[in-house]
Copies of this chain bind each other. A is one copy, B any other.
């Protein structure tokens, strides 16, 4: 007997999260065991508030599916809602509301596209169903995060496009800053609170082009101001324009974030500190120390939404991960769809892994990907990154701008 599916998006948006949504819907429309395909608006919040659309129907019209694949940010809207523990008496009401929705709408398949915190939601819904003997509903996680910091998967959907944007932008900034002969330092601040994958990708021009940032500072390495000044001093001996890539998440030996000073210390719903001042903080310090021209560039939101420059590999794989989730929904409840990578030739296969082994863990850049000095990445790191930025997605334009899809609400 066919049952309905519902899909939601959660956490910070990416340039590829809609390619995964397109994959889920495409697979669900094909799957013989799925009837209607609903889209929850703003993730679990939409389910709690009865806000959802028939996304299967919307994406069956005209070029909707194609355009959705190149649209950045969560088309269904997102949320940062953290569910209470399934065995917590105080949270009982929320679970009852969610499962009442599932029952009333004959939902047999729940797909959640998100990062670390979203997998926590999948794990909790699975655990609640199990603990309460609720059967006939699959909970499937599909990864999404530009941070590439999920356990169990060789890379995350969305990372490749972010890495391509960062590498291309770094290459352009390197050209731009090289035009003058005056001594100057340019500090490029890159996203990645706990893992340095995005910042590492700023070094990719070294492998491809004849320009490269002088140094790359990842959050995996303790940030030392004296070594930092010494690094810059050394680079000035080679050329007047020093360019540095630094993660927003670098910290001093005492654990303080370098960018902490300029922020109020606010935290998000998951208790993560909100950072936004690393580049600016270093700009001030370098200006004082060297007395030269210093500029900081925060790549900011475009890192996660610059869908005008997508990695074709990333979009194809993100779509594939979503489709694999839907087509295998009968057998992968409580799982996240992971990537398994092989090289020579590069290829990706999808494998479902128990989400409880993945949620709330962080995959950092390993030691062998960081140079001994701690101020750059190794060639092995670049070899890992290179295939992920390959392929130029053939974006469809309309009147000079990329065409985007909007969900009818």
B-binding residues in A (CB < 8 A) = 9, 13, 42, 45, 71-74, 77-80, 164, 167-169, 171-173, 175-181, 186, 204-205, 207-211, 276, 280, 295, 297-298, 300-302, 304-309, 311, 386, 389-392, 395, 397-402, 404, 406
> A302 vs B397: C-alpha distance in the bound complex, in angstroms?
21
Closest to A266 in B: B293
CB-based contact B400/A391 at 8 Å:
yes
Closest Cβ of chain B to A149, distance in Å, is 20
With A175-B404, A406-B210 in contact, is A181–B45 under 8 Å at CB? Answer: yes
Closest approach, in angstroms, between the C-beta of A327 and any C-beta of chain B?
27
Docked-complex contact A308 and B402, CB < 8 angstroms: no
Establish whether residues A302 and B172, one from each chain, have CB atoms under 8 Å apart when the complex forms.
yes
Q: Give chain B nearest CB distance to A301 CB in angstroms.
A: 5
B401/A79 in contact, CB under 8 A: no
**A298 contact set on B, CB distance < 8 A:** 298, 300
Q: How far is the CB of A395 from chain B (nearest CB, A)?
A: 8
Q: Quick one: which of A71, A298, A391, A404 has the most chain B CB within 10 A?
A: A404
Are A179 and B400 in touch, CB under 8 angstroms? no
- Determine whether the beta carbon of B308 is less than 8 Å from that of A301: no
In the complex the two chains form, is B297's CB within 8 Å of A300's CB? yes
CB-based contact B400/A164 at 8 Å: yes
Q: Which residues of B contact A300 (CB under 8 A)?
A: 297-298
Of all chain B residues, which has the CB nearest A45? B181
* CB pair B401 A73 closer than 8 Å: no
A72 to B295, CA, bound (A): 19
Having A173-B302, A276-B295, one finds 4 other A-B pairs with CB under 8 Å, namely A169-B306, A171-B401, A172-B301, A176-B305
Q: How many copies does the complex hold?
A: 2
Task: List, sorted by A's number, 17 A–B pairs whose CB atoms are closer than 8 Å.
Answer: A9-B179, A13-B179, A73-B176, A78-B180, A164-B400, A168-B308, A171-B401, A171-B402, A172-B302, A173-B305, A175-B404, A176-B301, A176-B304, A295-B301, A302-B302, A389-B401, A392-B397
Q: Known contacts A209-B404, A392-B397, A399-B390; is A305 also within 8 Å of B175 by CB? A: yes
A309 CB → nearest B CB, Å? 5
Chain B residue contacts of A71, Cβ below 8 A: 175
Is the beta-carbon distance between B169 and A400 smaller than 8 angstroms? no
Nearest-CB residue, chain B, relative to A391: B400
Are B208 and A172 within 8 A (Cβ)? no
Closest chain B residue, CB of each to CB of A312: B400
User: With contacts A172-B305, A297-B301, A401-B168 known, is A77 near B204, CB below 8 A?
Assistant: no
Enumerate chain B residues within 8 angstroms of A404, measured Cβ to Cβ: 171, 175, 209, 211
Q: Is the CB of B77 within 8 A of A181?
A: yes
Give Cα distance in the complex from A45 to B13, angstroms.
47
What is the distance, in angstroms, from A409's C-beta to the closest C-beta of chain B?
Answer: 11
Which residues of chain B have C-beta atoms less than 8 A from A178's C-beta? 73, 77
Q: Are A74 and B179 in contact (CB under 8 A)?
A: yes
CB pair B13 A176 closer than 8 Å? yes
How far is the CB of A329 from the nearest CB of chain B, in Å? 25
What B residues does A297 contact at CB under 8 A? 300-302
From B13, B172, B305, B307, give the contact of A308 (CB < 8 A).
B172
Q: Roughly how many angstroms separate A398 CA and B175 CA in the complex, as a whole number?
A: 16
* Least distance between A364 CB and chain B CB atoms (Å): 24
Of all chain B residues, which has the CB nearest A389? B400
